[in-house]
Copies of this chain bind each other. A is one copy, B any other.
Amino acid sequence: MPDAQRIQLAHGGGGQLSAELLREVILPALAGPQRPEALTDAAVLDAPPGRLAFTTDSYVVQPLEFPGGDIGKLAVCGTINDLAMAGARPVALSLGLVLEEGLDVELLRRVLCSAGRAAAEAGVPVVTGDTKVVERGALAGMVVNTAGVGAVLPGARLGFDRVRAGDRIVLSGPLGEHGLAVMSCRRGLGFTAELRSDCAALHALVADLLEALGEDVRFLRDPTRGGLAATLVDLAAASGHDVEIDQAAIPVHRTALAAAEMLGLDLLTVANEGKLVAVVAAGAAERAVAALARHPVASRAAVIGTVGGPARPPLVEMLTPLGGRRVVQMPYGEELPRIC
Protein backbone atom coordinates (compact mmCIF):
# COMPACT_ATOMS: atom_id res chain seq x y z
CA MET A 1 0.00 0.00 0.00
CA PRO A 2 2.62 2.50 -1.08
CA ASP A 3 0.44 5.59 -1.56
CA ALA A 4 -2.07 5.02 1.20
CA GLN A 5 -0.38 5.00 4.57
CA ARG A 6 -3.58 6.08 6.26
CA ILE A 7 -6.80 4.12 6.39
CA GLN A 8 -9.50 5.53 4.10
CA LEU A 9 -13.24 4.96 4.23
CA ALA A 10 -12.93 3.05 0.98
CA HIS A 11 -10.79 0.42 2.75
CA GLY A 12 -14.00 -0.76 4.38
CA GLY A 13 -16.21 -0.75 1.31
CA GLY A 14 -15.83 -4.32 0.14
CA GLY A 15 -14.22 -3.26 -3.13
CA GLN A 16 -10.70 -3.05 -4.56
CA LEU A 17 -9.21 -1.18 -1.63
CA SER A 18 -10.70 -3.61 0.88
CA ALA A 19 -9.15 -6.48 -1.06
CA GLU A 20 -5.79 -4.70 -1.10
CA LEU A 21 -5.84 -4.06 2.66
CA LEU A 22 -6.71 -7.70 3.25
CA ARG A 23 -4.01 -8.98 0.89
CA GLU A 24 -1.20 -6.63 1.87
CA VAL A 25 -1.72 -5.93 5.56
CA ILE A 26 -4.20 -8.23 7.26
CA LEU A 27 -3.48 -11.65 5.78
CA PRO A 28 0.33 -11.42 5.97
CA ALA A 29 0.04 -10.44 9.64
CA LEU A 30 -2.49 -13.05 10.68
CA ALA A 31 -2.27 -16.00 8.36
CA GLY A 32 0.22 -18.66 9.30
CA PRO A 33 2.47 -19.99 6.55
CA GLN A 34 0.24 -23.00 6.02
CA ARG A 35 -3.05 -21.11 5.74
CA PRO A 36 -2.87 -18.81 2.75
CA GLU A 37 -6.67 -19.00 2.44
CA ALA A 38 -7.32 -17.74 5.96
CA LEU A 39 -9.89 -15.05 6.73
CA THR A 40 -12.64 -16.09 4.35
CA ASP A 41 -16.19 -14.85 5.00
CA ALA A 42 -16.90 -18.09 6.82
CA ALA A 43 -14.25 -20.65 7.64
CA VAL A 44 -14.97 -24.37 7.58
CA LEU A 45 -13.28 -26.45 10.26
CA ASP A 46 -13.31 -30.07 11.24
CA ALA A 47 -15.65 -30.09 14.22
CA PRO A 48 -13.92 -31.36 17.33
CA PRO A 49 -15.76 -34.26 18.93
CA GLY A 50 -17.76 -33.65 22.10
CA ARG A 51 -18.90 -30.34 23.49
CA LEU A 52 -18.05 -27.02 21.89
CA ALA A 53 -17.20 -23.76 23.70
CA PHE A 54 -18.02 -20.46 21.97
CA THR A 55 -17.16 -16.97 23.22
CA THR A 56 -16.66 -13.36 22.16
CA ASP A 57 -15.10 -10.14 23.44
CA SER A 58 -14.71 -6.63 22.09
CA TYR A 59 -11.61 -4.59 22.88
CA VAL A 60 -11.54 -0.80 23.18
CA VAL A 61 -8.29 -0.32 25.13
CA GLN A 62 -6.58 3.08 24.95
CA PRO A 63 -3.77 3.51 24.09
CA LEU A 64 -3.70 0.82 21.43
CA GLU A 65 -0.13 -0.11 22.39
CA PHE A 66 1.05 -0.28 25.99
CA PRO A 67 3.91 -1.85 27.94
CA GLY A 68 3.61 -5.62 27.64
CA GLY A 69 1.03 -5.70 24.89
CA ASP A 70 -1.36 -4.02 22.50
CA ILE A 71 -4.98 -4.34 21.43
CA GLY A 72 -4.16 -7.17 19.03
CA LYS A 73 -2.36 -9.42 21.49
CA LEU A 74 -4.97 -8.57 24.13
CA ALA A 75 -7.84 -9.60 21.85
CA VAL A 76 -6.24 -12.91 20.90
CA CYS A 77 -5.19 -13.82 24.46
CA GLY A 78 -8.49 -12.65 25.95
CA THR A 79 -10.59 -14.91 23.78
CA ILE A 80 -8.22 -17.84 24.18
CA ASN A 81 -8.54 -17.35 27.94
CA ASP A 82 -12.35 -17.22 27.90
CA LEU A 83 -12.33 -20.57 26.09
CA ALA A 84 -9.75 -21.98 28.50
CA MET A 85 -11.84 -20.91 31.52
CA ALA A 86 -14.70 -22.98 30.08
CA GLY A 87 -12.32 -25.95 30.16
CA ALA A 88 -11.86 -25.92 26.41
CA ARG A 89 -8.93 -26.36 24.07
CA PRO A 90 -9.11 -23.29 21.78
CA VAL A 91 -9.54 -24.38 18.15
CA ALA A 92 -9.98 -21.22 16.07
CA LEU A 93 -10.49 -17.47 16.37
CA SER A 94 -12.30 -14.80 14.39
CA LEU A 95 -11.09 -11.21 14.25
CA GLY A 96 -13.38 -8.28 13.44
CA LEU A 97 -11.82 -4.85 12.97
CA VAL A 98 -13.56 -1.48 13.07
CA LEU A 99 -11.02 1.13 11.98
CA GLU A 100 -11.12 4.90 12.10
CA GLU A 101 -10.48 6.71 8.86
CA GLY A 102 -6.99 8.19 9.09
CA LEU A 103 -5.55 5.37 11.21
CA ASP A 104 -1.84 4.89 10.58
CA VAL A 105 -1.47 1.73 8.49
CA GLU A 106 1.87 0.99 10.17
CA LEU A 107 0.20 1.01 13.58
CA LEU A 108 -2.48 -1.32 12.22
CA ARG A 109 0.19 -3.59 10.83
CA ARG A 110 2.06 -3.71 14.16
CA VAL A 111 -1.08 -4.51 16.10
CA LEU A 112 -2.11 -7.24 13.64
CA CYS A 113 1.38 -8.74 13.58
CA SER A 114 1.24 -8.84 17.35
CA ALA A 115 -2.16 -10.56 17.19
CA GLY A 116 -0.76 -13.00 14.63
CA ARG A 117 2.28 -13.76 16.79
CA ALA A 118 0.11 -14.34 19.86
CA ALA A 119 -2.15 -16.67 17.85
CA ALA A 120 0.81 -18.57 16.39
CA GLU A 121 2.51 -18.94 19.78
CA ALA A 122 -0.73 -20.24 21.23
CA GLY A 123 -1.28 -22.56 18.28
CA VAL A 124 -4.75 -21.15 17.66
CA PRO A 125 -5.30 -19.85 14.11
CA VAL A 126 -7.35 -16.79 13.16
CA VAL A 127 -9.58 -18.30 10.46
CA THR A 128 -12.20 -15.67 9.64
CA GLY A 129 -12.57 -11.93 9.91
CA ASP A 130 -14.18 -8.71 8.83
CA THR A 131 -13.07 -5.10 8.44
CA LYS A 132 -15.20 -1.97 8.59
CA VAL A 133 -14.04 1.65 8.44
CA VAL A 134 -15.87 4.57 10.05
CA GLU A 135 -15.31 8.23 9.34
CA ARG A 136 -12.67 10.26 11.14
CA GLY A 137 -13.80 11.25 14.61
CA ALA A 138 -16.40 8.49 14.87
CA LEU A 139 -14.11 6.18 16.82
CA ALA A 140 -10.81 6.56 18.62
CA GLY A 141 -8.41 4.53 16.50
CA MET A 142 -9.87 1.07 16.38
CA VAL A 143 -12.10 -1.49 18.01
CA VAL A 144 -11.22 -5.16 17.79
CA ASN A 145 -13.62 -8.03 18.34
CA THR A 146 -12.52 -11.60 18.64
CA ALA A 147 -14.70 -14.67 18.93
CA GLY A 148 -13.46 -18.18 19.46
CA VAL A 149 -14.51 -21.79 19.32
CA GLY A 150 -12.96 -24.54 21.37
CA ALA A 151 -13.34 -28.21 22.20
CA VAL A 152 -14.29 -28.79 25.83
CA LEU A 153 -11.63 -31.07 27.30
CA PRO A 154 -13.02 -34.50 28.20
CA GLY A 155 -11.96 -34.20 31.85
CA ALA A 156 -13.49 -30.74 32.40
CA ARG A 157 -16.52 -30.54 34.67
CA LEU A 158 -16.62 -26.89 35.64
CA GLY A 159 -19.35 -24.71 37.00
CA PHE A 160 -20.61 -22.72 39.95
CA ASP A 161 -22.82 -25.69 40.80
CA ARG A 162 -19.77 -27.87 41.43
CA VAL A 163 -18.36 -25.60 44.16
CA ARG A 164 -18.45 -27.14 47.67
CA ALA A 165 -17.76 -25.88 51.20
CA GLY A 166 -14.09 -26.41 51.98
CA ASP A 167 -12.90 -26.02 48.37
CA ARG A 168 -9.73 -23.95 48.07
CA ILE A 169 -9.19 -20.86 45.96
CA VAL A 170 -5.98 -20.68 43.94
CA LEU A 171 -4.70 -17.53 42.20
CA SER A 172 -2.03 -17.91 39.53
CA GLY A 173 -0.02 -14.76 40.34
CA PRO A 174 0.04 -11.13 41.47
CA LEU A 175 -2.79 -8.73 40.70
CA GLY A 176 -3.23 -5.55 38.71
CA GLU A 177 -0.34 -5.52 36.25
CA HIS A 178 -2.52 -5.10 33.16
CA GLY A 179 -4.76 -2.33 34.41
CA LEU A 180 -1.96 -0.42 36.06
CA ALA A 181 0.41 -0.73 33.09
CA VAL A 182 -2.25 0.71 30.79
CA MET A 183 -3.21 3.44 33.21
CA SER A 184 0.41 4.40 33.96
CA CYS A 185 1.10 4.57 30.25
CA ARG A 186 -2.00 6.69 29.67
CA ARG A 187 -1.16 9.13 32.43
CA GLY A 188 2.53 9.26 31.60
CA LEU A 189 3.51 7.96 35.00
CA GLY A 190 7.06 6.71 35.48
CA PHE A 191 6.24 3.08 36.20
CA THR A 192 6.36 1.91 32.65
CA ALA A 193 9.86 0.44 32.84
CA GLU A 194 8.90 -1.96 35.60
CA LEU A 195 5.20 -2.39 35.04
CA ARG A 196 4.02 -4.37 32.03
CA SER A 197 0.67 -5.86 31.20
CA ASP A 198 0.46 -9.52 32.20
CA CYS A 199 -1.43 -10.20 28.94
CA ALA A 200 -0.87 -13.90 28.19
CA ALA A 201 -2.68 -16.96 26.89
CA LEU A 202 -3.55 -19.37 29.68
CA HIS A 203 -4.88 -22.41 27.83
CA ALA A 204 -1.70 -24.44 28.40
CA LEU A 205 -1.96 -23.83 32.17
CA VAL A 206 -5.57 -24.93 32.14
CA ALA A 207 -4.78 -28.07 30.16
CA ASP A 208 -2.06 -29.01 32.66
CA LEU A 209 -4.27 -28.18 35.62
CA LEU A 210 -7.10 -30.35 34.31
CA GLU A 211 -4.64 -33.11 33.45
CA ALA A 212 -3.26 -33.05 36.99
CA LEU A 213 -6.51 -32.61 38.94
CA GLY A 214 -9.35 -33.80 36.68
CA GLU A 215 -12.73 -33.21 38.27
CA ASP A 216 -11.08 -31.79 41.39
CA VAL A 217 -11.05 -28.51 39.42
CA ARG A 218 -14.51 -27.07 40.14
CA PHE A 219 -14.47 -23.63 38.54
CA LEU A 220 -12.11 -21.38 36.58
CA ARG A 221 -12.20 -17.68 35.73
CA ASP A 222 -9.75 -15.05 34.58
CA PRO A 223 -10.17 -11.92 36.73
CA THR A 224 -10.31 -9.29 33.97
CA ARG A 225 -12.68 -6.30 34.26
CA GLY A 226 -13.68 -5.86 37.89
CA GLY A 227 -10.61 -7.79 38.97
CA LEU A 228 -10.42 -10.47 41.66
CA ALA A 229 -13.22 -8.72 43.58
CA ALA A 230 -15.76 -9.20 40.76
CA THR A 231 -14.71 -12.81 40.21
CA LEU A 232 -15.09 -13.73 43.88
CA VAL A 233 -18.37 -11.85 44.40
CA ASP A 234 -19.77 -13.65 41.32
CA LEU A 235 -18.49 -16.94 42.70
CA ALA A 236 -20.16 -16.35 46.06
CA ALA A 237 -23.44 -15.16 44.57
CA ALA A 238 -23.74 -17.92 41.98
CA SER A 239 -22.59 -20.78 44.21
CA GLY A 240 -24.49 -19.54 47.29
CA HIS A 241 -21.41 -20.00 49.46
CA ASP A 242 -19.38 -17.57 51.56
CA VAL A 243 -15.83 -17.01 50.34
CA GLU A 244 -12.87 -16.09 52.53
CA ILE A 245 -9.47 -14.97 51.29
CA ASP A 246 -6.28 -14.19 53.19
CA GLN A 247 -4.68 -10.92 52.14
CA ALA A 248 -1.24 -12.10 53.26
CA ALA A 249 -1.46 -15.08 50.88
CA ILE A 250 -2.12 -12.98 47.76
CA PRO A 251 1.08 -12.63 45.71
CA VAL A 252 2.06 -8.97 45.30
CA HIS A 253 3.84 -7.16 42.48
CA ARG A 254 5.53 -4.29 44.32
CA THR A 255 5.39 -1.77 41.50
CA ALA A 256 1.75 -2.57 40.81
CA LEU A 257 0.99 -2.01 44.48
CA ALA A 258 2.83 1.33 44.46
CA ALA A 259 1.03 2.41 41.29
CA ALA A 260 -2.35 1.41 42.71
CA GLU A 261 -1.66 3.40 45.87
CA MET A 262 -0.62 6.45 43.87
CA LEU A 263 -3.73 6.22 41.71
CA GLY A 264 -6.02 5.52 44.66
CA LEU A 265 -7.08 2.14 43.26
CA ASP A 266 -7.83 -1.13 45.03
CA LEU A 267 -5.70 -3.91 43.53
CA LEU A 268 -8.59 -6.33 44.08
CA THR A 269 -10.67 -4.49 41.49
CA VAL A 270 -8.02 -3.83 38.83
CA ALA A 271 -8.16 -5.83 35.58
CA ASN A 272 -5.71 -8.67 34.87
CA GLU A 273 -5.21 -10.27 31.46
CA GLY A 274 -2.93 -13.19 32.27
CA LYS A 275 -4.15 -14.57 35.58
CA LEU A 276 -6.65 -17.19 36.59
CA VAL A 277 -8.63 -18.07 39.66
CA ALA A 278 -9.25 -21.78 40.21
CA VAL A 279 -11.59 -23.31 42.75
CA VAL A 280 -10.32 -26.79 43.52
CA ALA A 281 -11.17 -29.60 45.92
CA ALA A 282 -9.63 -29.15 49.37
CA GLY A 283 -7.14 -31.97 49.03
CA ALA A 284 -6.02 -30.89 45.58
CA ALA A 285 -4.85 -27.33 46.29
CA GLU A 286 -1.14 -28.06 46.54
CA ARG A 287 -1.23 -30.15 43.38
CA ALA A 288 -2.99 -27.26 41.65
CA VAL A 289 -0.28 -24.80 42.69
CA ALA A 290 2.41 -27.22 41.55
CA ALA A 291 0.76 -27.76 38.17
CA LEU A 292 0.36 -24.02 37.59
CA ALA A 293 3.78 -22.99 38.87
CA ARG A 294 5.55 -25.06 36.22
CA HIS A 295 4.50 -22.28 33.81
CA PRO A 296 6.55 -19.06 34.03
CA VAL A 297 3.41 -16.89 33.88
CA ALA A 298 2.11 -18.65 37.01
CA SER A 299 5.36 -19.15 38.91
CA ARG A 300 3.91 -17.32 41.90
CA ALA A 301 0.64 -19.27 42.06
CA ALA A 302 -0.72 -19.53 45.59
CA VAL A 303 -3.65 -20.78 47.62
CA ILE A 304 -5.37 -17.57 48.71
CA GLY A 305 -8.61 -18.67 50.31
CA THR A 306 -11.40 -21.10 51.03
CA VAL A 307 -15.05 -21.57 50.11
CA GLY A 308 -17.21 -21.36 53.21
CA GLY A 309 -20.61 -22.81 53.99
CA PRO A 310 -23.86 -21.99 52.22
CA ALA A 311 -25.15 -18.54 53.19
CA ARG A 312 -27.90 -16.08 52.32
CA PRO A 313 -26.69 -13.69 51.19
CA PRO A 314 -23.22 -15.13 50.69
CA LEU A 315 -20.32 -12.81 51.54
CA VAL A 316 -16.75 -12.45 50.38
CA GLU A 317 -14.44 -11.51 53.22
CA MET A 318 -10.72 -10.83 53.32
CA LEU A 319 -8.60 -11.46 56.40
CA THR A 320 -6.18 -8.57 56.75
CA PRO A 321 -2.61 -8.99 58.01
CA LEU A 322 -3.55 -7.35 61.31
CA GLY A 323 -6.28 -9.88 61.98
CA GLY A 324 -9.23 -7.77 60.80
CA ARG A 325 -11.89 -8.77 58.30
CA ARG A 326 -12.94 -6.69 55.32
CA VAL A 327 -15.98 -7.35 53.14
CA VAL A 328 -14.99 -7.50 49.48
CA GLN A 329 -17.65 -5.90 47.30
CA MET A 330 -18.47 -5.91 43.63
CA PRO A 331 -17.05 -2.69 42.17
CA TYR A 332 -19.90 -0.40 41.18
CA GLY A 333 -18.73 0.53 37.75
CA GLU A 334 -15.44 1.03 36.06
CA GLU A 335 -12.49 2.45 37.92
CA LEU A 336 -10.39 2.36 34.78
CA PRO A 337 -12.37 2.94 31.60
CA ARG A 338 -11.12 1.46 28.30
CA ILE A 339 -8.68 -0.86 30.00
CA CYS A 340 -9.41 -3.81 27.73
Contacts and interface: CB of A to CB of B under 8 A. Distances in A.
Contacts of A11: 333
Interface in A271-292: 271
Given A15-B226, A226-B15, A96 B57 contact: yes
Contacts of A42: 53-55, 82-83, 85-86, 88, 150
Contacts of A8: 333
Contact of A50 (B47, B55, B88, B97): B47
Contact of A49 (B47, B95, B338): B47
Given A94-B147, A138-B139, A14 B55 contact: no
B143 A98 contact: yes
Which range holds the interface residue count of chain A? 35 or more
B92 A54 contact: yes
A224 interface: yes
A12 interface: yes
Interface in A255-301: 269, 271
A195 interface: no
A51 B46 contact: yes
Interface in A1-45: 8-19, 41-45
B55 A46 contact: no
B56 A128 contact: yes
Interface string A290-329: 0000000000000000000000000000000000000000
- Copies of chain A in the complex: 2
Contacts of A147: 54, 56, 94, 96, 145, 147
Interface in A52-106: 52-60, 82-83, 85-86, 88, 92, 94-98
Contacts of A53: 42-45
Interface stretch (A129-137, A196-204, A243-251): A129-137
Contact of A330 (B15, B47, B95): B15
A332 B10 contact: yes
Interface of A: 8-19, 41-60, 82-83, 85-86, 88, 92, 94-98, 127-130, 132-135, 138-140, 143, 145, 147, 149-152, 221, 224-226, 230, 269, 271, 330-335, 337-338, 340
30 contacts: A9-B333, A13-B225, A13-B334, A14-B331, A15-B226, A15-B330, A15-B331, A16-B331, A18-B225, A41-B55, A41-B82, A42-B55, A42-B85, A44-B54, A44-B86, A44-B152, A45-B54, A46-B51, A47-B50, A54-B94, A54-B128, A54-B149, A55-B94, A56-B94, A58-B132, A58-B143, A58-B145, A59-B132, A132-B340, A135-B338
